[in-house]
Structure 1
Amino acid sequence: MGTWSHGNFDNDTALDWLDDITGQLLDEIAEAMESPACLEADEPDADLVPCRIELLCAMAEKGMPPQWPDVETLAEWKRIYLEVWDSSIDELEPSEDYKQGRRATLVATFDRMLALAHLAQEERESEDD
């Protein structure tokens, strides 16, 4: 059946659309990771990648997890992003308070994604048993 309840996402059309949206967000993050120069602190993707992750995490926490890449890939995304950010932020001459606070937010965002992806992976593995 294409509809199973009264919720906004309780039908095939909505879930197909959600899968498209989350897939697009993940593709955009992956593309940015392939071009690390676009992750430098003054580049748009430096701001947009964490926003995309935030949206994916919010959806996952609402019970609508994306098809996360494997946890190792996500950990590599975190490493790449932070390495580029760390190597480029000082050129913008931010205050030390901003720099430390922003980095803590970035780490927390990536760690949240990793935790949610790890949980989803565990759930998939337990379903396979």
Structure 2
Amino acid sequence: MGVWAHGNFDNDTALDWLGDITGQLLDEIAEAMDSPELLEADELDADLVPCRIELLCAMAEKGMPPQWPDVQLLAQWKQIFLQAWDASIDELEPSEDYKRERRATLVATFDRMLALAHLAEEEGDTEE
């Protein structure tokens, strides 16, 4: 086991674990994207996919980026998610304010992920 400093993630074991966790989050997002009906506004993954993305972004911003999929795939995920959400949200009869603000939050979440993935790609930290 390699240890190079005193930080919680400054050893091989911790980084291997982190890779497992981020891989699991990415796998769960990918699985949801394969079934857009799971992304409808009243479905569990409509709430959990943005949470998973938020966690991945927070880790990336702390200097522990996941192995992001290709940026083009991430852009497709954004499109798939927003299409499913847009097609289903009105059935729940939300207020216009909620609908507008929630959509803006969703777009910002996906855009944050895309920006971090672009940065990682430039630095050579993405899957080929």
- Is the pair's TM-score, using the shorter chain for normalization, greater than 0.5? yes
Within 2, Cα distance between the matches of 1:64 and 1:9? 9
Q: Name the amino acid aligned to 1:21.
A: I
- TM-score normalized with structure 2 length: 0.96
- The aligned counterpart of 1:107 is 107
Residues 58-100 of structure 1 deviation map (CA, whole Å, 9 limit, x = unaligned)? 0000000000000000000000000000000000000000000
Q: Name the amino acid aligned to 2:29.
A: I
Within 1, Cα distance between the matches of 2:119 and 2:5? 26
Structure 1 residue ranges without an equivalent (≥5): none
Give 4+ residue runs of structure 1 displaced > 6 Å after superposition: none
Residues 92-116 of structure 1 deviation map (CA, whole Å, 9 limit, x = unaligned)? 0000000000000000000000000
Within 2, Cα distance between the matches of 1:106 and 1:4? 38
Within 2, Cα distance between the matches of 1:44 and 1:66? 23
- The aligned counterpart of 1:7 is 7
- The aligned counterpart of 1:68 is 68
The two structures, once aligned, show a CA RMSD in angstroms of 0.9
- The alignment covers a number of residue pairs equal to 125
Task: Say whether 1:50 aligns with 2:74.
Answer: no
Within 2, Cα distance between the matches of 1:36 and 1:81? 7
Task: Say whether 1:82 aligns with 2:82.
Answer: yes
- The aligned counterpart of 1:93 is 93
* Aligned sequence identity (%): 84
